[in-house]
Copies of this chain bind each other. A is one copy, B any other.
Amino acid sequence: MMDATAPIGFIDSGVGGLTVVREALRQLPHENVMFLGDQARLPYGPRPAAQVRSFTWQMVNYLRAQHIKALVIACNTATAAAWRDVQAQLDIPVIGVIVPGARAAVKVTTAGRIGVVATEGTVASGAYDAAIHQQNSALTVHSMAAPKFVSLVESNEYKSDLARRVVADTLAPLAAEHPDTVIMGCTHYPLLRPFIQAALGDDVTLIDPGRETVVELATVLDYLGLANRGDHDGDRSFYTTASPTMFADIASDWLGLDDLHAQHVNIEANRTTLFRMPSSMGRWTKLPSPGSHRRWSSPRRIRVRCASSLISLLPAVSRFVVWRILMICIPLTRPAPPSLKTPG
């Protein structure tokens, strides 16, 4: 059984995912947290989906080797490109930010008009539209890409007048559609929240998918009996593919942690698909991933397990068969009775 004290892994293309980590520290303070940001190759937004998927797998494989009990893809672009693939192949819960964000929008919408602001990659994937319509096909969704927002945040310009102007200009077409609810569909955007709210109007409800993702994470951990029931703050570890000093500066500021240290890691050597652990490490096969209880309990899975148990029993069965044969045959192979003996 997976250890409830094992850390939760968070991956992101840059520092945006720290907005999700901040929510995790606030909502689940007793959990141990491990964050890996791929600053060296950000932004993911404009990259082709196949490349984003490949980079995401490199991060996933790095954190799996650290024995995480659950994985949060704290990046909308990576979630859109790789969540289903990673979720299907990993034996731990894998939570993306898109479905929780979509669900929260469906919850709070009053007029059924939902807007989505995201990166080009996320908008092109149609992942938010699909997630919203899967739950309620009658809702209207307007999506738009806002590629400039990420660089405003990564360059620490997110409180500037320039940021205010860029946000207002970019969101004008969305505001004209009069959505009642807007999803900030990139983990960087909540840092621009005051400007986004001003551009869309005070009566628009803004959704921060990262915040909702942590609620879904808590739900799934509870459901699997994997919540860490400690009473002190968890450990936090931070890894980056770029400069650890620069990363630590931003992360300490965002997370309000004084003694934050970050470590540089090289993940490009990792395989770009699932790296299967040797079976002796076994822990990845012991926990059901989302949907895997269906697989565990499926008749086929049970048959496979029973067949392997039967095979392991074969030596004992063979010994039993040989013993029974001997017991039955011994009387038949005894010397012929004296009357049948050849004459002496």
Q: Would you give the 0/1 interface string for A298-337, flagging 1 where the beta carbon is closer than 8 Å to chain B?
A: 1000110110011001000100010011001100110010
The verdict on A214 contacting chain B, using a C-beta distance below 8 Å, is yes
The verdict on A244 contacting chain B, using a C-beta distance below 8 Å, is no
B306/A297 in contact, CB under 8 A: no
Q: How many copies does the complex hold?
A: 2
Given A136-B29, A325-B325, A342-B340, A291 and B216 contact (CB-CB distance below 8 Å): no
B340/A343 in contact, CB under 8 A: no
The verdict on A227 contacting chain B, using a C-beta distance below 8 Å, is yes
- Give Cα A247 to B252, complex, Å: 56
Question: Which label, helix, strand, loop or mixed, suits the secondary structure of the A interface?
Answer: helix
B329/A340 in contact, CB under 8 A: no
Q: Would you give the 0/1 interface string for A222-236, flagging 1 where the beta carbon is closer than 8 Å to chain B?
A: 111101010100000
Q: Which residues of B contact A225 (CB under 8 A)?
A: 291, 294
List residues of chain A with CB under 8 Å of any chain B CB.
1, 23, 27-30, 99-100, 103-104, 106-107, 134-138, 211, 214-216, 218-220, 222-225, 227, 229, 231, 286-288, 290-294, 296-298, 302-303, 305-306, 309-310, 313, 317, 321, 324-325, 328-329, 332-333, 336, 339-343
User: Given contacts A321-B324, A324-B325, could you give 15 more A-B pairs where the C-beta distance is less than 8 Å?
Assistant: A28-B135, A107-B215, A134-B227, A216-B219, A225-B291, A286-B297, A293-B293, A296-B297, A303-B309, A306-B310, A325-B329, A332-B333, A336-B340, A340-B342, A341-B342
